[in-house]
Structure 1
Amino acid sequence: MMMMQLMETPNQKNSLFNAMNRFIGAVNNMDQTVMVPNLLRDVPLDEEREMSSVKSDVDEGDMYSYYQLLKSIRRDIEWGVRGAAADEKRKESMEIIRRNSSVSASSSVSGSSEEDEEDDEDLAKQFQYHLTGLQEVLSKLTQQANCLTKRYKQEIGIGGWGQ
């Protein structure tokens, strides 16, 4: 299967949408390359410098568990976070929205437009902060997926192919 690469303008290069697409593409490539994921079992992450920083985040500390983690993150991006934890987060989010809505309604009744402007500015700052963080994490995860793919090729003896 051939992937089509779109031309990115300098402004689009740093978009969240493109960061997600690069990550999903890297994980898809990893998934298509890794034909026998079990070969990644017991292959330590710390042999590759770029991947050593994630070792503490993975319970088993091997390439197989990181492979599974990357696929799980891709699934969450494509399909959303599912399950009881997602339902609980959704309920919490709805409660926060309800509280903010009632606060906004009561503050607009009291005529406090300065507080509304501060809230809007705070929301904008929060959005920029989280957007930047998400883009940085996606960039690192994309590098990790590419690194894992390269490492798998080396493990099975095709390290020089398709690089």
Structure 2
Amino acid sequence: MQSAEGKLARSCVLQALRCYSTAVQDMEQTVMLPSLLREVLCEEDPDQAAADEDLYECYLRLKDIRAVVESGLVLVDDHRVKAHQALDRTLEPLLEAEPEAVFHFHLKGLLSVIGNLTKKSQAVTAKYLDIVGLTN
């Protein structure tokens, strides 16, 4: 039997994933000419790693992530594997913590990432509408 906290966490994650999937679907339906997003830089914090990424690359990445979220199949990319291995080494002390603390840490991180991806999808959609002159 699941605890109330477990049901709430699952509901919260499912809702966040639905919001993300809907935002990407909205983006795909709105962006009829993705090539218009080429060479339009993302308006992100300069501290973020993807600051040099254009909106076209961002558009493709958001669609790829949605495909992974919906299918559950994780594609292996050698370049990203090395980055993940470095991240795993920095998180090793966390693995020695209580399982409940690890769960809450990852749940909070997952919800944060999904929220950021949802906002990014909405931003790409808004920028595309701005480019084609369909905003207010």
With the length of structure 2 as denominator, give the TM-score of the two structures. Answer: 0.71
Q: 1:136 corresponds to which residue?
A: 112
RMSD (CA atoms): 2.8
Letter in 2 for 1:15: C
Percent identity between the aligned chains? 30
Change (3 A) 1:132 1:56: closer
Change (3 A) 1:54 1:40: farther
Q: 2:84 corresponds to which residue?
A: none
Letter in 1 for 2:60: Q
Q: 1:127 corresponds to which residue?
A: 103
Letter in 1 for 2:16: A
Q: 2:40 corresponds to which residue?
A: 43
Return the offset for 1:37.
0.4
CA contact (8 A) 1:27 1:145 kept: yes
Q: Secondary structure at the match of 1:157?
A: coil
Return the offset for 1:122.
1.0
Gaps of 5+ in 2: 1-7, 82-94
CA contact (8 A) 1:38 1:64 kept: yes
Q: 2:66 corresponds to which residue?
A: 74
The aligned length equals 113
Letter in 2 for 1:138: I
Q: 1:64 corresponds to which residue?
A: 56
With the length of structure 1 as denominator, give the TM-score of the two structures. Answer: 0.60
Letter in 2 for 1:41: R
